[in-house]
Amino acid sequence: VTFLDTADVYGPHSNEELIREALYPYPDNLVIATKGGNLRGGPEYSDMTSLGNKWYLRQAAYMSMRRLGLDHIDLYYLHQSTFTDVPFEQAIDTLAGMKADGLIRHIGLSNLSAEQLRTAMSITDIAAVTVHYNVAVRLGAAVRTVAEETGIVFSPWHPAAIPSGPDGQPFHAVIDPIAAKHDVTPQQIALAWQLHHTATSLPVPGTTSVAHLHENLDAASISLTQDEVDAITALAPEDD
């Protein structure tokens, strides 16, 4: 594993602290991505807002660096694309300044539209985007298209999720036989599909156990046929 994705809002703060506790000093080849811009007023994600002013974002980056034990952040994501205090373009300008100052090495964007991505690209270099995209949810389809066309890393969150219950039956009807053929789990097939479907894909599956971590990693070695990839792609519309 050479890439870890986290955020200051996870916990909040404790996920970054846990990474340092478990892995510091870090291997030379490890890239850590974190995110800023969201604020939680308590333990529930429903109690949350977003700020994009330069004072808050710079402070958030410095605090993430402190928790992670870093002197810069390799990949820093703007966690939202709408803010209560400043326009989107102003927040992008702030990240560009943070990069110029050496606080962050690369800029990432999260939960945005294709139009916003193009706007950001006209202001500064964008290295990666992360959106909600999987076999059933294609909210980030237009962003995926722009990312693939421009060589930007496309990092879907909840990448291996498959609906359960009656809603999941059409998905399992297609995915489960493919999983049986490859002797893997349906979720591993969902991850393998991400890697086959998008040339610049870097999925960020979550895990809470070593066994699940190994399952996620093993999905990278699954070789799907084009017919299998197309069958899974056809399960949901690519919303623009």
Residues assigned a catalytic role: 10
Contacts of 152 (CB under 8 A, 6+ apart): 117, 126, 127, 128, 129, 146, 200
Alpha carbon distance 15, 133 (integer Å): 23
- Cβ neighbourhood burial of 108 (10 Å; 0-12, 13-18, 19+): buried
State whether residue 34 is helix, strand or coil.
strand
DSSP state for residue 27 in the 8-state scheme: P
Residue length, the chain? Answer: 240
Query: H/E element holding 109?
Result: strand 104-110
The β-bridge relationship of strands 38-40 and 48-50 is: antiparallel
